[in-house]
C-alpha cells in the first residue's frame, strides 16, 4: 500500500498501531531520507509530517505509481477486459508519464490476477453462480456474461418464474410413475427414473411402462375359484384367500381349497337328510 503526499512524494507503511499508521519515504534507505508521515488508522487524516527531505520528489514516478494502483482497483471492482481497464485508467495521465508507461506485459501482471478472478467466466465457480444446489451453472453461447442454471439429471425445475428451483423428479407427480408405484433413481445414473409397483400390486404392462394393478384382480391371485382374495392389514402385500359363504376350506396346509359344505360331512346334516343351500 502506498501514500502520496501533496508535495508529490510517495510513502510506504513503516509500522501501525491501534490508532495510527506510520509512513516512511519509499526507498528511504537508498535515499537516506528521514521524512516521515503519520495518519489515522484508516489513512484518511494526516496527523504529522516532518517534511525532512534530502532530495526532490519525482512527480512522474508518483503519477505512474498512482496509475498502477488505479489499474489494480479497477480490475478488482469491474468485469472489464485488460485493455479496457488500461484505457480507462490512462485518462488524464500526463504525456511525460505516458512516455514512461510500463510495458503491456508488466501491466498484465497487475491486472490478470484480478480480472481472471472477477471476469464473468468465473461466476460459475463462485457459489455455483447463485444457481440451485441441484443445478449446473453455465454461460450463454453468444453472451458469456449470461448465467444459465440447468437442473441436474434426476431433478426438475418447478419454479414458474425466471428462477430455477430444482426438485427431485420423484417428488414431482411421483416421477410420472403409476399411483401404486414408488419412484426411485438408478444407482449409477441419478437421471434414470425407476418405477416399482408397491407390495400387493403387480405390473401388468408389457410395453415397457409400469402399470400397477391390485394382485387380487389378477386371476384372483391363484386363490381357489370359490374363495375371495384380500390383503392383510397393515401388510398390504399379504394375500388372504377366504372361502366364500357355503364353502369350506378342506386343506390342512397353507393352501386354501374351498369345497361345497354340503360335500363335507353332508354339511353336518342328519345322515338321513339331504344338504342343500
Question: Is the pLDDT at 229 greater than 70, yes or no?
Answer: yes
> Do 20 and 108 belong together in one domain?
yes
> Do 111 and 7 belong together in one domain?
yes
> Do 193 and 264 belong together in one domain?
no
What does pTM read for this prediction?
0.51
CATH code for the domain in which residue 139 is found: 2.10.25
Q: Which burial class, exposed, middle or buried, applies to 194 when counting CB atoms under 10 A from its CB (0-12, 13-18, 19+)?
A: middle
Quote the domain boundaries for residue 198: 174-215
In this prediction, residue 213 carries a pLDDT of: 96
In this prediction, residue 11 carries a pLDDT of: 67
* Residue 80 placed within a domain: yes
pLDDT in tens, 91-111: 777 766 666 555 443 444 445
In this prediction, residue 14 carries a pLDDT of: 75
pLDDT in tens, 37-66: 778 867 677 777 776 655 555 565 666 667
> Do 57 and 80 belong together in one domain?
yes
Average pLDDT over residues 145-172: 90
More confident residue, 106 or 138: 138
User: Where is 166: in which H helix or E strand?
Assistant: strand 166-168
> Do 251 and 202 belong together in one domain?
no
Q: What's the CA angle centered on 30, arms 29 and 34, to 5 degrees?
A: 45
> Do 133 and 210 belong together in one domain?
no
More confident residue, 74 or 4: 74
- How many structural domains are present in the chain? 4
Question: CA 245 to CA 274: how far, in whole Å?
Answer: 18
* Residue 237 placed within a domain: yes
Amino acid at each position: 500500500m502506498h501514500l502520496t503526499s501533496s508535495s508529490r512524494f510517495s510513502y510506504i507503511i513503516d509500522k501501525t498501531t491501534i490508532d495510527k499508521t506510520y509512513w516512511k519515504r519509499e526507498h528511504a534507505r537508498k535515499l537516506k531520507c528521514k521524512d516521515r508521515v503519520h495518519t489515522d488508522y484508516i489513512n484518511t487524516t494526516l496527523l504529522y509530517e516532518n517534511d525532512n527531505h534530502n532530495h526532490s520528489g519525482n512527480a512522474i514516478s508518483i503519477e505512474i505509481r498512482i496509475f498502477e494502483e488505479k489499474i489494480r482497483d479497477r480490475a478488482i471492482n469491474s468485469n472489464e477486459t485488460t485493455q479496457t481497464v488500461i484505457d480507462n485508467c490512462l485518462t488524464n495521465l500526463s504525456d511525460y508519464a505516458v512516455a514512461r508507461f510500463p510495458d503491456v506485459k508488466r501491466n498484465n501482471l497487475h491486472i490478470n490476477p484480478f480480472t481472471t478472478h472477477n471476469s464473468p467466466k468465473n461466476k460459475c465457480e463462485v457459489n455455483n453462480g447463485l444457481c440451485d444446489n441441484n443445478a449446473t451453472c453455465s454461460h450463454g453461447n453468444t453472451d458469456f456474461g449470461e448465467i444459465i442454471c440447468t437442473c441436474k439429471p434426476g431433478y426438475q425445475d418447478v419454479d414458474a418464474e425466471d428462477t430455477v428451483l430444482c426438485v427431485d423428479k420423484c417428488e414431482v407427480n411421483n416421477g410420472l410413475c403409476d399411483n401404486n408405484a414408488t419412484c426411485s433413481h438408478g444407482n449409477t445414473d441419478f437421471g434414470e427414473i425407476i418405477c416399482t409397483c408397491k407390495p400387493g400390486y403387480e405390473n401388468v404392462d408389457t410395453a415397457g411402462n409400469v402399470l400397477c394393478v391390485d394382485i387380487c384382480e389378477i386371476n384372483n391371485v391363484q386363490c381357489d375359484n370359490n374363495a375371495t382374495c384380500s390383503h392383510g392389514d397393515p401388510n398390504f402385500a399379504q394375500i388372504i384367500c377366504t372361502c366364500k359363504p357355503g364353502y369350506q376350506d378342506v386343506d390342512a396346509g397353507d393352501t386354501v381349497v374351498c369345497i361345497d359344505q354340503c360335500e363335507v360331512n353332508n354339511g353336518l346334516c342328519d345322515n338321513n337328510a339331504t344338504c342343500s343351500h
